Structure 1
Amino acid sequence: MKNSILCAFVFLFTIPLFAQDEDIADQDVDFPKSEVKLNALSLIVGAFEGTYEYLLNEESAIGINGFVVYDNDLDTDLNYYISPYYRLYFGEKYAAGFFLEGFGMLNNVEGNRITYFNNQGDILSVEEDNITDFALGIGLGGKWVTNNGFVGELSLGVGRNLFNANESGIDFVGKLGITVGYRF
Structure 2
Amino acid sequence: MKKSLFMLLLLFSICTLSAQQQNDSIASLYEKQNEVKLNAVMLLAGVFEASYERNLNEESSVGISFLTPYDNENSDADINYYISPYYRVFFGKKYAAGFFIEGFGMLNSIDRDYEVQESGMYYTYEEKSVTDFALGFGLGGKWVTKSGFVFELVGGIGRNLFQNDYDDSQIVGKFGFNLGYRFN
TM-score range, shorter chain: 0.7 to 0.9
| Unaligned stretches of 5+ residues in structure 2 | 1-19
TM-score normalised according to structure 1 size? 0.78
- Residue 67 of structure 1 aligns with which residue? 67
The DSSP-based 3-state class of the residue aligned with 2:86 is strand
Counterpart contact for 1:139–1:157, Cα < 8 Å: yes
Larger Cα-atom Rg: 1
The DSSP-based 3-state class of the residue aligned with 1:104 is strand
Q: CA deviation at 1:78?
A: 1.2
The DSSP-based 3-state class of the residue aligned with 1:147 is coil
- Residue 178 of structure 2 aligns with which residue? 179
Does the alignment pair 1:98 with 2:105?
Answer: no
Give the Cα–Cα distance (whole angstroms) in 2 for the partners of residues 176 and 68 of structure 1: 14
Give the Cα–Cα distance (whole angstroms) in 2 for the partners of residues 91 and 127 of structure 1: 49
Letter in 1 for 2:126: E
Does the alignment pair 1:36 with 2:36?
Answer: yes
- Residue 7 of structure 2 aligns with which residue? none
- Residue 53 of structure 2 aligns with which residue? 53
Letter in 1 for 2:175: L
- Residue 145 of structure 1 aligns with which residue? 144
Q: Matched residues, percent identical?
A: 54
The DSSP-based 3-state class of the residue aligned with 1:168 is coil
Give the Cα–Cα distance (whole angstroms) in 2 for the partners of residues 153 and 142 of structure 1: 6
Q: CA deviation at 1:133?
A: 0.3
- Residue 12 of structure 2 aligns with which residue? none
TM-score normalised according to structure 2 size? 0.78
- Residue 10 of structure 1 aligns with which residue? none
- Stretches of 4+ aligned residues off by more than 3 angstroms: 27-30, 123-126
Give the Cα–Cα distance (whole angstroms) in 1 for the partners of residues 106 and 164 of structure 2: 13
Give the Cα–Cα distance (whole angstroms) in 2 for the partners of residues 45 and 179 of structure 1: 14
Does the alignment pair 1:157 with 2:162?
Answer: no
What is the root-mean-square deviation of aligned Cα atoms in Å? 2.2
Q: CA deviation at 1:114?
A: 2.4
Alpha-carbon displacement from aligned partner over 1:20-48 (angstroms, at most 9, x marks no partner): xxx9xxx7975310000000000001100
Counterpart contact for 2:114–2:128, Cα < 8 Å: no
